Amino acid sequence: MSYIQDLARKFDSGEIETEMLMNTGNNDCHKILTQVKGIGTWIVDMFLLFCLKRQDVLPLADLGVRRGFQKFFNLPALPQPEQMLHLAKNWEPYRSVGTWYMWRMAASSIQ
């Protein structure tokens, strides 16, 4: 409950505004929203993908995306964030599409 209250306080005080989030880049959204108690990078990535419909989001902390990378790129272990960024470099500025495919890959029976 304290997480929701902290978020509400920040909106009520004007520290965070809807317009601000809609008009700022992904990195700045991360900086702003992770200041709220209980909001981490994964939640911000999901907010960027599903609420703001951003086209260039690669949730590096998402286990499904990591598993998709492992399967798609035939990696021996789950990739680390730096490796994922390197492998997805050519996907910019549409890494959100790659994210969807990695989720599908992780959920598939393809080995």
Annotated active-site positions, please?
Answer: 62
Q: CA-to-CA distance for 59 and 76, rounded, in angstroms?
A: 20
Give the span between the Cα atoms of 12 and 29, in whole angstroms.
18
Q: List, as one string, the DSSP characters of 68-102.
A: HHHHHTT-SSPPPHHHHHHHTGGGTT-HHHHHHHH
